[in-house]
Structure 1
Amino acid sequence: MPRFAANLSFLYQELAFLDRFEAAARDGFQAVEYLAPYPFEPAEIRSRLKANGLQQVLFNAPPSGGEAADVATAWDRSERGIAALPGREAEFRQGFAHALRYAEALDCPRIHVMAGLAPTGADRNTLRTTYIANLRWAAAEAAKAGREVLIEPINTRDIPGFFLNRQDDAHAVLAEVGAANLKVQMDLYHCQIVEGDVASKLKAYLPTGRVGHLQIAGVPERHEPDTGELNYGYLFEVIDSLGFDGWIGCEYKPRRGAVPGGTSDGLGWLRGLHS
């Protein structure tokens, strides 16, 4: 049976962020992920994790910014990562060091690094060279702390211009960087939109051991996984058959939106797996 983590940036939108931990635990989740902890002190989040018996399994490195104040508000700005952007290496390193401090405080094993938006007219070879160098440095720093670095192919419908879009490209980056603790965050929602043939992709890449985390959402609306064109019941069976023992992040937008109980009411798909 797959293990599911609640994405607190997407679920329980009717609640303040720090109150979402209790809601997730009440619905039976044992782990959480989210985009960014940086607006809050690590001790504040750690206390919510401990009080609700939750494990922190993933969060993102800052999408931009180096100083603490800039990092805390980075998700309010339009940038979606700077790892592939030349000339911002020092900012990237400072932001990633910030993420490592949070990972240590929250006992989080994985940090997702976003590639960023390719500037109009930019040379992709230059962007890739920058990306590889930044990931090689980040993986080395994370290894010292016993953490993994994840990269995620993201569709350009949701994030136009995002640099990394395909699973094969992500695995080629891993091969070039050559760090054992650099892995792919395989979001089946993004994979279906860009490439399709999701079951075959799972069968190709999960056995390599280079997929560190999965995420799910219905396609195309990004609602619960029991809606849309993907047969997640079948895909969960495929994932089980391949022996994947990592976490699957529930990074979807509840159909009922931010109404009280909207997320909980939409968890019939999860309750059905356990019945």
Structure 2
Amino acid sequence: MPQFAANLSMLYQEHAFLDRFAAAAADGFTAVEYLFPYPFSASDIAAQLQQHGLKQVLFNAPPGDWDAGERGLACLPGREAEFRQGFAQALDYAHTLACPRIHVMAGLLPAGSSRESLRPLYEANLAWAAAQAASVGLDVLIEPINTRDMPGFYLNRQAQAHATVQAVGAPNLKVQMDLYHCQVMEGDLAMKLRQYLPTGRVGHIQIAGVPERHEPDMGEINFAYVFALLDGLGYTGHVGCEYRPRRGAVPGGTSAGLGWLRQAQQLQNK
């Protein structure tokens, strides 16, 4: 059975952010991920990780002005200096948090731009980031995101992401394979996993139910089958639980929806 990481940006919103670590540990998670740590000091987050015996497995580099709708800087012309400054900040946090990987969001296509015209800049930014991360033993991840949830995002499909990784040629640049986004855009998840996991280019996996992005026991994906397949393919990394609890941000909301996790843990302990 895979190792699961609670995404603290989406789960446990009934708690303040720094209280979500305790809640995740109480529910049996041993690892966490989230979008952005930057509103909090790295030392405060590290203290939560240590206190609750949790491993930090992933967070995102700064995405630009998130509140204004920006979703990454890596493909944006004229933002190279800001991209580098933000990635340096991410490396500092990763060092303090002992986090082995950083997700770099590509960004939204600027008006009048094409993916092909932006490709050299995107790949150059990723090559630079991968070199910086390699010097301290970290991986850089890129993630295809579906066009329904994030219209205009530069990176949408698995083949596009893997072609980018191959073009850059850095061994520590890998794909963050979110099965929710992959199902929305492409489907055929089992064959995609069989195709891409053996390449060694998949650095992290995330899950959510489709189509509502709730718990993985809701919707059209048979995750029991997927988890068994991951085991069969020898995947030893974490699976990030990046979904919106269907009960909403109310006391007990996230924990009440974790029947799927308890079932998985029982199978693992047999």
What TM-score do the two structures reach when normalised by structure 1? 0.96
Percent identity over the alignment is 70
Where in structure 1 do 4 or more consecutive aligned residues deviate above 4 Å?
none
Q: Does 1:108 align with 2:99?
A: yes
Measured in 2, the distance between the counterparts of 1:227 and 1:172 equals 32
Question: C-alpha separation between the residues in 1 aligned to 2:43 and 2:206?
Answer: 27
How far off is 1:125 after superposition?
1.9
Q: Which deviates further from its counterpart, 52-61 or 123-132?
A: 123-132
Secondary structure at the aligned position of 1:111 is classed as strand
Q: Is the 8 A contact 1:224 1:252 kept in 2?
A: yes
Query: Which residue of the partner structure matches residue 43 of structure 2?
Result: 43
Deviations 1:155-187 (A, max 9, x none): 011011000000000000000000000000000
- Matched to 2:248, the amino acid is G
**2:129 pairs with 122, 138, 148, which one?**
138
- In the other structure, the counterpart of 1:80 is 71
Correspondences of 1:38-187 after superposition (within 5 Å)? 38-64=38-64, 74-187=65-178
How far 1:77 moved relative to its partner? Answer: 2.9
Question: Which residue does 1:227 correspond to in 2?
Answer: 218
Amino acid corresponding to residue 140 of structure 1 in structure 2: A
Shift of the alpha carbon at 1:75?
3.3
CA positional deviation for 1:224: 0.1
What does the per-residue CA deviation read over 1:183-225, in whole Å, with 9 as the maximum and x for residues that have no partner?
A: 0000000000000001100000011111000000000000000
Mapped pair 1:218 → 2:209: yes
Distance across 2 between alignment mates of 1:273 and 1:43:
33
Cα shift readout 1:44-100 (whole Å, capped 9, x = no counterpart):
000000000000000000001xxxxxxxxx433310001011111111001000100
- Letter matched to residue 52 of structure 1: H
CA distance in 1: counterparts of 2:30 and 2:150, whole angstroms? 30
Note the aligned Cα RMSD (angstroms).
Answer: 0.7
Structure 1 distance, partners of 2:254, 2:262, is: 13
Of 250, 259, 262, the match for 1:268: 259
Q: Deviations over 1:87-142 (max 9, x none)?
A: 11111001000100000010000000000000122132221111000000000000
What secondary structure sits across from 1:215 in the alignment? Answer: strand
Q: Say if 2:189 is the partner of 1:198.
A: yes
Residue 71 (structure 1) aligns with: none
Q: Secondary structure at the match of 2:4?
A: strand
Secondary structure of the residue aligned to 1:22 is helix
Q: Could you list the runs of 5+ residues in structure 2 that have no partner in the other structure?
A: none
Cα contact 1:110–1:147 (8 A) shared by 2: yes
SS in 1 for 2:75: coil
3-state SS in 1 of match to 2:23: helix
Aligned partner of 1:20 in structure 2 is 20
Task: Give the deviation of 1:274 after TM superposition.
Answer: 1.9
Task: Tell me the distance in 2 between the aligned counterparts of 1:254 and 1:123.
Answer: 36
1:273 Cα offset (Å): 1.2
CA distance in 2, matches of 1:92, 1:126: 18
How far, CA to CA, are the matches of 1:215 and 1:264 in structure 2? 19
Aligned counterparts of 1:180 and 1:146: Cα–Cα separation in 2: 11
| SS of 2:74 mapped into structure 1 | coil
TM-score by length of 2: 0.97
* Counterparts of 2:265 and 2:20, CA distance in 1: 22
SS in structure 2 at match of 1:223: coil
Secondary structure of 1:57's match? strand
User: 5+ unaligned residues in a row in structure 1: which ranges?
Assistant: 65-73
